[in-house]
């Protein structure tokens, strides 16, 4: 038992090893709805969910989930962007796209065509949050209804006001990071 405790103490002291294609997000001290995003030696402010971060994400709780999440692909408003560079697959956003957030629906946490009969989010927004919007593999590959939907990495509002559970970066910083992100990039959100 003492050997096991000794090993656990050594493990706790070891720093988390982050690969160069990994983004690490941590909450700002005493600001649970704002974070610090670390990537390739640079640190950027970011917005987090209105309820901070959580290990037990539920639909509608407003929390950003803790864990490791690959970036699957992205969306962009090509009608608003003059140019951009990206290694990730970026799909155009159009008026007929939504994202289902109704936990009892068979298309829960999926891209859908709108109009749609159950609760959903519209991808083509009036604001600029989804001008660039990256889809994280949170509750998608292994979907559990009610565990949260539409966890995106998107553009932030001015002053980094809270999200509904996503991670949001300023448009300027998003354009700096976007060309460096690949299919191998993962986002690590820690407490």
The first and second tokens of residue 13, run together, are: 């002291």
Task: Return the pLDDT at 82.
Answer: 83
Predicted TM-score of the model (pTM): 0.89
Task: Return the pLDDT at 17.
Answer: 59
pLDDT in tens, the chain (191 residues): 444 344 444 444 455 556 789 999 999 999 999 999 999 999 999 999 999 999 999 999 999 999 999 999 999 999 999 888 999 999 999 999 999 999 999 999 999 999 999 999 999 999 999 999 999 999 999 999 999 999 999 999 999 999 999 999 999 999 999 999 999 999 999 99
Picking from 174, 72, 79, 182, the residue whose alpha carbon sits closest to that of residue 132 is: 174
| Domains in the chain: boundaries | 20-189
CATH no. of 20-189:
2.40.440.10
Task: Return the pLDDT at 5.
Answer: 40
How far is it, in rounded angstroms, from Cα 14 to Cα 79?
47
**157 contacts: CB under 8 Å, gap ≥ 6:** 47, 127, 129, 168
Picking from 184, 12, 169, 175, the residue whose alpha carbon sits closest to that of residue 82 is: 175
Burial readout 32-46 (b: 16 or more C-beta within 10 A, e: otherwise)? bbbbebbbeeeebbb
Strand pairing of 186-189 and 22-28?
parallel
């Amino acid at each position: 038992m003492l050997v096991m405790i000794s090993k656990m103490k050594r493990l706790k002291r070891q720093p988390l090893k982050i690969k160069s294609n990994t983004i690490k997000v941590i909450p700002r001290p005493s600001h649970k709805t704002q974070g610090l995003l670390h990537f390739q030696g640079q640190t950027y402010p970011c917005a987090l969910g209105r309820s901070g971060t959580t290990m037990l994400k539920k639909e509608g709780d407003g929390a950003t989930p803790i864990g490791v999440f690959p970036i699957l692909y992205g969306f962009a408003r090509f009608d608003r962007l003059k140019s951009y560079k990206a290694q990730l697959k970026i799909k155009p956003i159009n008026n007929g796209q939504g994202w289902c957030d109704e936990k009892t629906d068979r298309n829960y946490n999926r891209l859908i065509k709108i109009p749609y009969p159950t609760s959903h989010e519209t991808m083509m927004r009036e604001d600029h949050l989804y001008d660039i919007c990256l889809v994280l593999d949170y509750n998608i590959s292994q979907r559990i209804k009610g565990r949260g939907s539409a966890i995106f990495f998107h553009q932030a509002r001015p002053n980094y006001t809270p999200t509904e559970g996503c991670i949001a970066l300023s448009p300027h910083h998003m354009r700096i990071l976007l060309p460096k992100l690949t299919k191998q990039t993962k986002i690590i959100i820690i407490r």
